Structure 1
């Protein structure tokens, strides 16, 4: 290892939490988790940091008896969160299913943070995810020098969660190859991970469970086998139910991201967020919010997560290259990029929407001009 590389690693190990670009949920909301634990007198499952009631409160928000305000991490039906939390208190794994942008990863991370105090036991699913990422691998230097042994074994995040009684997370489960997916079956049904090379096994201790996420719009590379699907309790996360609800979600996340990126809250933010969300919802639903005009839908998903990205990018443009006020021109560039996934078909959809809906909308003349300019 070079001296320069060593210096980089040393600095990363002592990096102050406030300096990281994105803190883990258990660090970013440590004060709320501590306050909840201090006042949580309800029964807790083995090795849970909080009771199921407190975990739900952490996700949904509320005010504690001492006046501490818990900010909502998920805005949606309370029953969905209650079912998800209850599932993790049983021997069933949890599958969070939904279209892109429904906060599956966000909910998964916060559930793990509230239950285990550790959201980092994560397997990121891709088409190239190997079996070792789910089960275990080997330190080949140790393996060649001393043969198979516990010292040579490299545990996966799932294996570590089993040993420590924590929550493991698997993101984009349906993108993982089918044979790798099925390596979870024994883990979830028998709560055991065999290690044939050592003639031993790792048994899950109480507190262990697994949260997986999957996208039901883009079905990924591989569907789940029926045997694996039976090991999960599936909770479907819906799109925000109303315009106001989605505006609230986007506003909260943009404010959080803006603080982490040192972006100020700019005048005009509330108006532009509402307009971005309105455009996304109308194109996604195929009808205007007043129900009077049908519109064509583009090929993209136009998710809440994409709306958050568009507004955050607009804030950066207005801060660094604008006049200090968030304007239509700062967000329409991002909207056009989100809509035009198919450069031919989506261009037609966008132009018809701009000319047929935005052009006729009262108070949107600046948005219309910016949309036309940024569409060229």
Structure 2
């Protein structure tokens, strides 16, 4: 089963292909090698979906599946298994824990289409989740199926696909609750037409939420019960985080024709070390307590800092990532509150970075942009 997608463009290579397009070869190879049972409407078996996300070697030994998510295997297995049941999936975590990334790749592997997406904001209307109307047709001919504009969720229900709702807790509570009937009854009433849309087998929904948004628009108990919640943690070790940053920077860099990330692996390790120490409130050796800034300093922000540094190195340097290329990006990520965060950053530079062997170039570069 596949869904039709319409893209508007000039025919040139897009800046960021959807997951199902960027990794079409891997998905095709997995589908051909996949001899395990597949839930109704799924393009791959749960085993193959997990392999697609976590990476691995196909049984024939000829095709390598690249990891899309670096983290505990059991988390991915639970998420995939949830989608094979009648419960929706809620991916919860602090900013930068790859919730959106995992959501997109899950939808791509399960349904072959990751674009049935509702982006949650404070202004998201109920129509974005249920349906809207083509008002020209509505005024001319009255309520009809032709005048109805289906939401991504309605389309997923009628086609047996996976819908995605990003930043669920950013959506107003009364709009959130429009999901309750959809998730419990697997139907969407259209009272204007005296009809309903019933979900086809294969339909499910993946939502993401930032646990820093607690108290913004908390989920009602009734809605939360419709989800199985999977918490995505921050990378457990510095090595894992360096691996994640290197992979994503490499992917982004190739699309932007930037130098290969391995050329700056030492600086990637430094960025990751700085972010982890400031996040954890203690130096890597455990000897120095550190004040934490107001920002999250997530893996996603580390990826942004390194990508920006590579762009500087490519366009204003010799293509090799150096301390001066990442210093300004780190300062921008750390100092969100100019009053308090600047003090935290200066103290960290003087008590930790300045005294660290082999970090003098990095210390000077950071001092220069911090003045």
Range into which the TM-score falls when normalised by the shorter chain = over 0.9
Equivalent residues in 2 for 1:1-376, closer than 5 Å: 12-13=8-9, 15-16=11-12, 19-66=13-60, 67-219=62-214, 221-265=216-260, 268-376=263-371
Please give the alpha-carbon distance, in whole angstroms, between the structure 1 residues aligned to 2:369 and 2:10: 44
TM-score (norm 1): 0.95
Query: Displacement of 1:277 after TM fit?
Result: 0.1
The answer on whether the counterparts of 2:93 and 2:233 sit within 8 Å (CA) in structure 1 is: yes
Contact 1:266 1:324 in 2 (8 A): no
Q: Is the 8 A contact 2:107 2:113 kept in 1?
A: yes
Asked if 1 retains the 8 angstrom alpha-carbon contact of 2:310 and 2:325, the reply is yes
Separation in structure 1 between the aligned mates of residue 7 and residue 18 of structure 2, nearest angstrom: 18
C-alpha deviation, 1:289, in angstroms: 1.0
- Cα distance in 2, alignment partners of residues 143 and 168 from structure 1: 26
Q: Note closer, same or farther for the CA distance 1:250–1:220 as it changes in structure 2 (3 Å cut).
A: farther
Task: Please state whether the residue corresponding to 2:189 is helix, strand or coil.
Answer: strand
TM-score by length of 2: 0.97
> In 2, are the aligned partners of 1:93 and 1:209 still within 8 Å (CA)?
yes
* Structure 1 residue 268 displacement after superposition: 4.2
Do the aligned residues in 1 keep the contact of 2:246 with 2:261 (CA within 8 Å)? no
Matched position secondary structure for 2:102: helix
> Which 10-residue stretch deviates more, 250-259 or 262-271?
262-271
Secondary structure, counterpart of 2:212 in structure 1: coil
Gaps of 5+ in 2: 1-5
Q: 1:100, 1:301 within 8 Å by CA — same for their partners in 2?
A: yes
- In structure 2, the residue matched to 1:7 is none
Query: Secondary structure of the residue that 1:263 maps to in structure 2?
Result: coil
The Cα RMSD (Å) is 1.2
What 5-or-longer segments of structure 1 have no aligned partner?
1-9
CA change 1:107–1:337 in 2 (3 A) is same
Q: 1:264: Cα distance to partner? A: 1.8
Equivalent residues, number:
365
